[in-house]
């Protein structure tokens, strides 16, 4: 789960990290009025969406008067903001974050994430912070330092010193960096975060470190431990189908292809998508109904898949271990009838009660294309979609 920048800043502030004072508003009038409580005459107006690259899309503007602030907030609010991470449709701006201007001497980059290679939490640091950090990573990776934290020994002063050295910070700035490293790590661990990104982390002209921007994501499977984080969820920033899927305990991610996939088990779902691509098709989604799905959950999964107008065919690939194949078959039949499915439907079942499941599908009177195995299913799904195009 991701949160907005202003929410991330509140969490950073609560843990003692240095952030510039700011205020959030949902109207241009509110933004201008609330800015009066901030110090100085220069402000930064920042569109609040769950995507990076806002500056490149015109979503971050420096203003020098309240009139300019009002005009920029009015320009952003209620409009789609298109950035390199939103896609061509952009994301609708529902709030703006107004922040006191900060006098910047240097821009740095600092983040924490889960390093999948080492299986540890890792710091990533670079002296080249700012809007082009992706280009730095691609073209000059030697400018980026990665430092893992051993879970057995935990964080120590060593980590702060290494990060400070990587960022070329000395003296009091190095001490500030060490404190910030500890703060970010504590926040990351205590809140089960998956990402904390400070870009840029700035050195001000007064030799102070300030988290000028912040992005945070949290592990979905740990949210039950953090009701305070759940309250920060903004479903307007999520795909409506993914929001609906979460209500039924379905793992769903929309993709750009034409073949809808309903599978049980994340590994099998990945394999299904891979083999669809192998035979020249494109998966329209990742959808894992789980190991103990009910008939009702399968029906809802079908509805969600078919709600995507790009879906031109559906492939159901179920290995019934805990889940019984006859239960899946009943859900498929109910969903196909309820949704009046009009695209090719390929079904591969294997496992517990498989013969009963296949019998139910045969006797349903529906135009279901049976498959013997995953290879056969993928071939038939791709062929059916191409034939119908």
pTM for the whole structure: 0.80
DSSP assignment letter at 340: T
Residues 150, 156 contacting (CB under 8 angstroms) = no
Residues 191, 12 contacting (CB under 8 angstroms) = no
> Is 321 one of the annotated binding-site residues?
yes
- Domain 239-388 class in CATH: alpha beta
d(CA 297, CA 271) in angstroms, rounded, equals 22
Domain borders along the chain are 1-19+104-237, 21-101, 239-388
Would you state the torsion angle of the CA atoms of residues 371, 374, 376, 381, taken in this order, to the nearest 10 degrees?
80
Residues 261, 286 contacting (CB under 8 angstroms) = yes
> Is 322 one of the annotated binding-site residues?
yes
Neighbours of 28 (CB within 10 A): 20
Please, what's the largest Cα pairwise distance for the chain? 78
Peptide bond between residue 200 and the one before it cis (omega within 30 degrees of 0): yes
Element (H, E) at 224: none
Q: How far is CA 141 from the centre of its chain?
A: 24
Tell which CATH classification among 3.40.47.10, 3.40.50.300, 1.20.1630.10, 3.30.470.20 matches the domain 1-19+104-237.
3.30.470.20
Q: Return per-residue pLDDT of the chain as tens, 389 residues.
A: 999 999 999 999 999 999 999 999 999 999 999 998 888 889 999 999 998 889 888 999 999 999 999 999 999 999 999 988 888 889 999 999 999 999 999 999 999 999 988 889 999 999 988 767 778 777 888 889 999 999 999 999 999 999 999 999 999 999 999 999 999 999 999 999 999 999 999 999 999 999 999 999 999 889 999 999 999 999 888 888 888 888 888 889 999 999 999 998 889 999 999 999 999 999 999 999 876 667 788 888 888 998 899 999 999 998 877 778 888 888 888 888 887 788 999 999 988 888 999 999 999 888 889 998 999 999 999 999 998 77
Q: Residues 293-331: pLDDT tens digits?
A: 677 888 888 889 988 999 999 999 988 777 788 888 888
Q: How far is CA 74 from the centre of its chain?
A: 27
d(CA 287, CA 303) in angstroms, rounded, equals 12
> Is 264 one of the annotated binding-site residues?
yes
DSSP string, 22-64: EEEESSHHHHHHHHTTSSSS-EEEEE--S-S-TTTTT-EEEES
- Of the candidates 162, 225, 196, the one whose C-alpha atom is nearest the C-alpha of residue 12 is 196
- Of the candidates 308, 300, 356, the one whose C-alpha atom is nearest the C-alpha of residue 332 is 300
C-alpha distances out from residue 369 to 348, 361, 366, Å = 9, 9, 9
Neighbours of 244 (CB within 10 A): 17
The residues assigned a catalytic role are 109, 197
d(CA 55, CA 159) in angstroms, rounded, equals 31
DSSP assignment letter at 19: B
> Is 127 one of the annotated binding-site residues?
no
The Cβ-side half-sphere exposure at 107, using a 13 Å CA radius, reads 11
d(CA 365, CA 342) in angstroms, rounded, equals 14
> Is 46 one of the annotated binding-site residues?
yes
Q: How far is CA 286 from the centre of its chain?
A: 14
Torsion sign (Cα): 59, 134, 287, 272: positive
Retrieve residue 196's tokens: 């904390």
Q: Same fold for the domain at 21-101 and the one at 239-388?
A: no
To which CATH superfamily is domain 21-101 assigned?
Answer: ATP-grasp fold, A domain (3.30.1490.20)
d(CA 98, CA 149) in angstroms, rounded, equals 35
> Is 16 one of the annotated binding-site residues?
no
DSSP assignment letter at 322: S
* Matching residue, tokens 């900060």: 102
Residues 346, 314 contacting (CB under 8 angstroms) = yes
What pLDDT score does 339 carry? Answer: 78
What pLDDT score does 266 carry? Answer: 85
What pLDDT score does 147 carry? Answer: 95
At 152, is the secondary structure helix, strand, or coil? Answer: coil
> Is 76 one of the annotated binding-site residues?
no
> Is 53 one of the annotated binding-site residues?
yes
β-strand pairing of 193-204 with 215-218? antiparallel
């Amino acid at each position: 789960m991701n949160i907005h920048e202003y929410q991330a800043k509140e969490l950073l502030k609560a843990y003692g990290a240095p952030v510039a004072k700011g205020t959030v508003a949902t109207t241009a009038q509110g933004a201008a009025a609330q800015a009066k409580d901030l110090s100085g005459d220069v402000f930064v107006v920042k569109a609040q969406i769950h995507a990076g690259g806002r500056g490149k899309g015109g979503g971050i503007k420096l203003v020098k008067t309240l009139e300019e602030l009002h005009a920029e907030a009015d320009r952003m609010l209620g409009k789609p903001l298109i950035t390199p991470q939103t896609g061509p449709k952009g994301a609708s701006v529902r709030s703006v974050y107004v922040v006191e201007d900060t006098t910047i001497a240097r821009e740095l980059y600092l983040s924490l994430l889960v390093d999948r290679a080492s299986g540890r939490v890792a710091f990533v640091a670079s002296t080249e912070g700012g809007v082009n950090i992706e280009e730095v990573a691609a073209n000059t990776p030697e400018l980026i330092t990665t430092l893992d934290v051993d879970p057995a020994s935990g964080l120590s002063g060593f980590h702060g010193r290494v990060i400070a050295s990587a960022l070329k910070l000395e003296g009091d700035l190095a001490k500030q960096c060490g404190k910030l490293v500890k703060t970010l790590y504590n926040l990351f661990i205590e809140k089960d975060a998956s990402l904390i990104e400070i870009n840029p982390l700035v050195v001000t002209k007064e030799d102070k470190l300030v988290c000028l921007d912040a992005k945070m994501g949290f592990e979905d499977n740990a949210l039950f431990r953090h009701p305070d984080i759940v309250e920060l969820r903004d479903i307007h920033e999520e795909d409506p189908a993914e929001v609906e899927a979460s209500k039924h305990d379905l793992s769903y991610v929309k993709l750009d292809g034409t073949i809808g996939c309903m599978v049980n088990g994340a590994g099998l779902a990945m394999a299904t998508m891979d083999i669809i691509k192998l035979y020249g098709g494109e998966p329209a989604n990742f959808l894992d109904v789980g190991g103990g799905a009910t008939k009702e959950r399968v029906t809802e999964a079908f509805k969600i898949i078919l709600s995507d107008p790009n879906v031109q065919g559906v492939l159901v690939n179920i290995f019934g271990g805990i889940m019984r194949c006859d239960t899946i078959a009943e859900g498929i039949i109910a969903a196909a009838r309820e949704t009046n499915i009009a695209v090719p439907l390929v079904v591969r079942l294997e496992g517990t009660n498989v013969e009963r499941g296949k019998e139910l599908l045969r006797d349903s009177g529906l135009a279901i294309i049976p498959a013997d195995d995953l290879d056969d299913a993928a071939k038939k799904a791709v062929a059916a979609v191409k034939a119908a195009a």
